[in-house]
């Protein structure tokens, strides 16, 4: 499994693995893919600094990348207290009532309540870029499209490539016009922020729209060698994967054993929902009693980004502590149905590579 | 492009083309695929008889199939007048008001108003099966899952294979348990009746669930050789296609030049919507001012099958006559964005075959 992108990124296999777990990201890079560390959870730049130091010592000199969440246009900004004052009291009351109905207790008194996930704020995402560029990263991926021009310029000055997610061909063209190096074509079936067009249609459409101006990574519905072969058949030069690393041993090493992992192992491909309740923009999540509560008559409309995540972050913290698989909040794609056991990262990657080779061999016999 | 299914069906390429046009279906079979004639539009069994006679004389002795719409459980039945009395007057008023707002005039006085499309009725679908089995058909496909047991038995007695659509792995298993020979895995991106799971996830899931008990045709998002290669990479033995035949010259030969074809040529992959307004069950349609009207506040909930289609059929007839591409009612998949010109069936099929070979050759170089 080898394409031009392997040389561009200095990796063995064109498998890019996005994960908020540094243990999983490092293991993906060590196994020959490109681990991309999701930074949105780091409210404090110093914390990211420490984790990237750890990455530098645990990737055997292999390349890795980071993923930030940065809109091209600077949105409403402010300190968390200001923003929190913009959250309507009815929304807070709904969250409180829902948690109580779901049997999710308040946090123990000695647990510090977080201020929410601030990585969605422009200033925080910018601090992530600054920290990351002090490390030997190979790629900055932006989960919200083209990053601002000066971020692109600075990244390129550091020899760092920039990738951006696209759910439509017109977005992909715009990214490349702005100077983005790699487009991630994110299909409907993907976890997290996602559009309406499914991978089977979106990937070749974006490949055709770019006409070779930039390589395309296929995202959405890809968790096996078969699916990677399908993605490359559709014209992608590699795959962008996320959900399949959530049930790895290394993920648990960073995040701890969790009700979330147990919930993923028990879910089928029908157990996801595309909803604005996680960030304010449509994102695919695991379907749980929490997501269902937001679909009941009388539930409020989700708030715009970044307010919605500020609203629900403390609820996520409470659900995490409550440890009940039926009430968790977790972005995941439709491949969740194929996640049936906790595995080491190297096994998942090995299955990609072997499954890919088997599939390509099988296709050769049909031709 | 050759799999075991080619031998099973007696065809050159494992490309099954569903279309309500006998000209397109016959051309697909002549070009080496399997043309499958959609029967739902034939209210009168004698009319289907005539068309199948024509097929017999225009397929050069190549195999072809038919597609019927038959629920396994016999639904509420009755003569059209009875059923029409079940349509609430508010629904009729909404349709009338909407057509007027869209500028769709009433039919000319000398045009006979149809009774609606009756192929959705069990008794009519059964008459389709009886007629079809008097012809040398190779396949009966049922668009609504497993057909009733006696239909399966009779088909098998005639040496005819039976295919059924599935949008979930559990449906696919149930079909094969009932005796269905071929499963059509219909992904979210498909036109017409469709579920929530996209092809990239659904196809390998159904292939794995069946464990080789029956071959799988991949449906949803497939209109090119690249996409066919992706489908086979995902484990399918062939592809089930529909949308790509709507913009063929042969389709126009049967149905006439139409605003519908012009509308499809102008649409992007974002211009579809999954809605219950066509049949009462979720189906992907071209997004037009007609579908948008049903999403406005105050629009009624669509009726259950078969009432919804009885309600909207006269509206479809009026819109067809009005010849305005912005107000048509047409099932189509997300590949509509790649349909940019009217082409002969043979060209479309040729592109499938050549594109497939190119793609497989390209993949071999990555391995």
Torsion of CA A147, A152, A155, A157, to 10 degrees: -170
Question: What is the average pLDDT score of chain B?
Answer: 94
Determine, yes or no, domain membership for B256: no
- Give A203 to chain B, closest Cα distance, Å: 10
Examine the domain organization and report whether A144 and A281 are in the same domain: no
Q: Please state, for a pLDDT cut of 90, what percent of chain A lies above it.
A: 85
Determine, yes or no, domain membership for A330: no
What pLDDT sits at residue B305?
86
Of the residues B6, B169, B224, B230, the best mutation for testing chain A's interface (the one with the most A CB atoms within 10 Å of its CB) is: B230
- Cβ pair A201:B357 closer than 8 A: no
Examine the domain organization and report whether B123 and B208 are in the same domain: yes
Give the pLDDT band (50/70/90) at residue A273: very high
> 3-state DSSP helix/strand/coil percent for chain A, to nearest 5?
45, 15, 40
A340 and chain B: CB distance < 8 Å anywhere? no
- Cβ pair B337:A201 closer than 8 A: yes
- Cβ pair B360:A338 closer than 8 A: no
What is the per-residue pLDDT across B133-169, written as a single tens digit (0 to 9) for each? 999 999 999 988 889 999 999 999 999 999 999 999 9
Chain A residues within an 8 Å CB radius of B234 = 226-227, 230
- Cβ pair B269:A202 closer than 8 A: yes
Examine the domain organization and report whether A91 and A190 are in the same domain: no
Give the pLDDT band (50/70/90) at residue B111: confident
Chain B residues within an 8 Å CB radius of A360 = 233, 363-364, 366-367
Is a pLDDT exceeding 90 seen at residue B81? no
Give the CATH number of the domain where residue A23 resides. 3.20.20.70
Which pair of structure tokens corresponds to residue B142? 């049922």
Examine the domain organization and report whether B92 and B152 are in the same domain: no
Task: Quickly count: other Cβ atoms within 10 Å of residue B8's Cβ.
Answer: 17
Examine the domain organization and report whether B88 and B233 are in the same domain: no
Residue of A nearest to B223 (CA): A201
Residue of B nearest to A355 (CA): B233
- Cβ pair B189:A197 closer than 8 A: yes
What pLDDT sits at residue A85?
86
> Could you say which of B224, B359, B366 has the minimum Cβ distance to residue A2?
B366
Domain total in chain B: 2
> Could you say which of B1, B199, B337 has the minimum Cβ distance to residue A200?
B199
Examine the domain organization and report whether A131 and A164 are in the same domain: yes
Examine the domain organization and report whether A182 and A305 are in the same domain: no
Task: Quickly count: other Cβ atoms within 10 Å of residue A248's Cβ.
Answer: 27
Determine, yes or no, domain membership for B236: yes
What is the per-residue pLDDT across A223-234, written as a single tens digit (0 to 9) for each? 999 999 999 999
B360 and chain A: CB distance < 8 Å anywhere? yes
What is the per-residue pLDDT across A299-316, written as a single tens digit (0 to 9) for each? 999 999 888 988 999 999
- Cβ pair B269:A201 closer than 8 A: yes
Residues 250-269 (A) with a CB less than 8 A from some CB of B: 269
Q: Please state, for a pLDDT cut of 70, what percent of chain A lies above it.
A: 95
Examine the domain organization and report whether B129 and B219 are in the same domain: yes
The answer to whether A152 and A133 are in contact (CB under 8 A) is no
What pLDDT sits at residue A106?
92
Q: What CA–CA distance (Å, rounded) separates A26 from A19?
A: 10
Q: What angle do CA B354, B251, B323 make, to 5 degrees?
A: 130
DSSP B241: E
What is the per-residue pLDDT across A74-100, written as a single tens digit (0 to 9) for each? 655 556 667 788 899 999 999 999 999
Chain B residues within an 8 Å CB radius of A269 = 168-169, 197, 201-202, 205
Give the pLDDT band (50/70/90) at residue A111: confident
Examine the domain organization and report whether B17 and B63 are in the same domain: yes
Examine the domain organization and report whether B191 and B101 are in the same domain: no
Give the pLDDT band (50/70/90) at residue B58: very high
Give the residues across from A67 on adjacent strands.
Answer: A38, A141
Residue of A nearest to B200 (CA): A221
SS3 A256: coil
Question: Looking at per-residue confidence, does A103 or A70 come out higher?
Answer: A103
The answer to whether B5 and B91 are in contact (CB under 8 A) is no
- List the beta strands (DSSP E) in chain B: 15-19, 34-38, 64-68, 139-142, 161-166, 182-186, 192-193, 216-219, 238-241, 272-275, 283-286
Boundaries of domain holding A314: 80-115+265-322
Q: What CA–CA distance (Å, rounded) separates A162 from A332?
A: 24
Residue of B nearest to A169 (CA): B269
DSSP B263-301: HHHH--TT-EEEESTTTSS-EEEE--HHHHHTTSTTPPP
Residue A141: phi, psi to the nearest 5? -105, 140
B200 and chain A: CB distance < 8 Å anywhere? yes
**Residue B336: which of B285, B279, B283, B282 has the closest Cα?**
B285
> Could you say which of B187, B269, B367 has the minimum Cβ distance to residue A205?
B269
Contacts of B88 (CB under 8 A, 6+ apart): B300, B303
Determine, yes or no, domain membership for B17: yes
Determine, yes or no, domain membership for A258: no
Maximum Cα interatomic distance, chain A, rounded to a whole number of Å: 66
Examine the domain organization and report whether A312 and A171 are in the same domain: no
What is the per-residue pLDDT across A6-41, written as a single tens digit (0 to 9) for each? 999 999 999 999 999 999 999 999 999 999 999 988
Examine the domain organization and report whether B53 and B191 are in the same domain: yes
Q: What CA–CA distance (Å, rounded) separates A211 from A264?
A: 38
Count contacts between A and B (CB, < 8 Å): 151
Q: How far is CA A110 from CA A106, A113, A311, A318, B30, in A?
A: 11, 9, 21, 13, 75
Is a pLDDT exceeding 80 seen at residue B54? yes
Contacts of A307 (CB under 8 A, 6+ apart): A83, A86, A87, A280
Q: Poorest-confidence range of A179-183, B212-216, B303-307? A: B303-307
CA B142 to chain centre: 10
Torsion of CA B85, B90, B95, B100, to 10 degrees: 130
Contacts of B347 (CB under 8 A, 6+ apart): none
- Cβ pair B270:A197 closer than 8 A: yes
In this prediction the ipTM stands at 0.95
> 3-state DSSP helix/strand/coil percent for chain B, to nearest 5?
45, 15, 40
- Give A174 to chain B, closest Cα distance, Å: 17
What pLDDT sits at residue A121?
72
- Cβ pair A168:B360 closer than 8 A: no
| pLDDT mean over B318-343 | 96
What pLDDT sits at residue B7?
97
Of the residues A201, A220, A291, the best mutation for testing chain B's interface (the one with the most B CB atoms within 10 Å of its CB) is: A201
Determine, yes or no, domain membership for B96: yes
Give the pLDDT band (50/70/90) at residue A256: very high
B57 and chain A: CB distance < 8 Å anywhere? no
B100 and chain A: CB distance < 8 Å anywhere? no
Residue B274: phi, psi to the nearest 5? -95, 120
Strands B34-38 and B64-68: parallel
The answer to whether B118 and B40 are in contact (CB under 8 A) is no
Residues 315-334 (A) with a CB less than 8 A from some CB of B: 333-334
What pLDDT sits at residue A117?
64
Determine, yes or no, domain membership for A332: no
The answer to whether B147 and B70 are in contact (CB under 8 A) is yes
Q: Which helix (H) or strand (E) holds A19?
A: strand A15-19
Of the residues B195, B207, B233, B236, the best mutation for testing chain A's interface (the one with the most A CB atoms within 10 Å of its CB) is: B233
Is a pLDDT exceeding 60 seen at residue B76? no
Determine, yes or no, domain membership for B359: no
What is the per-residue pLDDT across B290-314, written as a single tens digit (0 to 9) for each? 999 999 999 999 999 888 988 999 9
Which pair of structure tokens corresponds to residue B254? 């049967």
What pLDDT sits at residue A110?
74
Residue A338: phi, psi to the nearest 5? -95, 0
A85 and chain B: CB distance < 8 Å anywhere? no
């Amino acid at each position: 499994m080898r394409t031009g992108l392997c040389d561009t990124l200095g990796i063995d296999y064109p498998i890019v693995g996005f994960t908020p777990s540094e243990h999983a990201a490092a293991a993906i890079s060590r196994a020959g893919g490109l681990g991309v560390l999701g930074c949105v959870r780091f409210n404090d730049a110093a914390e990211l600094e420490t984790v990237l130091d750890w990455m530098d010592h645990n990737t055997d000199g292999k390349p890795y990348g980071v993923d930030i969440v940065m809109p091209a246009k600077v949105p409403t900004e402010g300190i968390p207290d200001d923003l929190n004052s913009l959250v309507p009291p009815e929304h807070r009351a709904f969250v409180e009532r829902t948690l109580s109905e779901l049997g999710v207790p308040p946090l123990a008194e000695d647990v510090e309540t977080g201020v929410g996930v601030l990585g969605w704020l422009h200033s925080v995402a910018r601090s992530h870029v600054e920290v990351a560029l002090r490390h030997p990263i190979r790629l900055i991926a932006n989960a919200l499209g083209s990053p601002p021009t000066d971020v692109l310029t600075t990244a390129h000055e550091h020899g760092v490539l920039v990738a951006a997610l696209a759910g439509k061909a017109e977005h992909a063209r715009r990214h490349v016009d702005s100077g983005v190096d790699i487009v991630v074509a994110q299909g409907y079936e993907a976890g997290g922020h996602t559009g309406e067009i499914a991978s089977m249609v979106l990937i070749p459409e974006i490949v055709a729209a770019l006409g070779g101006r930039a390589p395309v990574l296929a995202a959405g519905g890809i968790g096996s060698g078969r699916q990677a072969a399908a993605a490359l058949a559709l014209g992608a030069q590699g795959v962008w994967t996320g959900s399949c690393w959530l049930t790895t041993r290394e993920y648990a090493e960073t995040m701890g054993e969790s009700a979330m992992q147990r919930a993923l192992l028990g879910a089928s491909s029908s157990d996801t929902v595309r909803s604005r309740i996680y960030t304010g923009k449509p994102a695919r999540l695991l379907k749980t009693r929490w997501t269902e509560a937001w679909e009941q008559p009388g539930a409020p409309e989700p708030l715009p980004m970044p307010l919605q995540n500020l609203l629900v972050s403390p609820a996520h913290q409470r659900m995490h502590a409550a440890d009940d698989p039926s009430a968790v909040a977790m972005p995941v794609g439709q491949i969740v149905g194929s996640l049936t056991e906790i595995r080491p990262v190297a096994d998942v990657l090995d299955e990609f590579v072997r499954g890919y080779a088997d599939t390509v061999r099988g296709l050769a016999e049909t031709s």
